Amino acid sequence: MTYNKENIFAKIIKGKADCVKILENDYILSFMDVMPQTPGHTLLIPKYDTEDIFNLPEEYFTFLMDAKKRIARAIKKAYEPTGVMIMQLNGKEAGQTVFHLHFHIIPRKDGLNYKFHSSDPVNFNELEKEAEKIKKWL
């Protein structure tokens, strides 16, 4: 897939679409999600034209990690959630709907019924096999 320079996040970066900004510098922009899962649901994007994490230049990662930490801390203070979820999806099959790299930072509280895990635990032997597949590429 070729990066679409007219996606909504590219338009937000260029000032062609509105957003409610949280944090911004030369490398990143953070703003409120317009379709929040919970109050405080915040998005964080790099100011770089990439659909996914695989094509982002290394110098952006420090700025993204710092911003995620700062925003998560601020959400924790502002909403007093029992948890903060940081989620990032790569590709349609992973659930990505806007094809500009972005992170969701979402306050979570007891009673919210999010399910991002299987309902049954997997045998550790199976987990080891899957881990080895990933480790060989690190």
Which of 41, 102, 104, 117 is labelled catalytic? Answer: 102
45 within 8 A of 9, measured Cβ to Cβ? yes
Q: What share of the chain is helix, strand, coil (3-state, %, to 5)?
A: 35, 20, 50
- The Cα 49–Cα 55 span in angstroms is 9
Residue 57 structure tokens: 């230049």
102 is catalytic: yes
Rg, Å, the chain Cα set: 17
* Phi/psi-derived region of residue 40, left when phi > 0, alpha when psi is between -120 and 50, beta in every other case: left
- The Cα 74–Cα 86 span in angstroms is 13
Catalytically annotated residues: 102
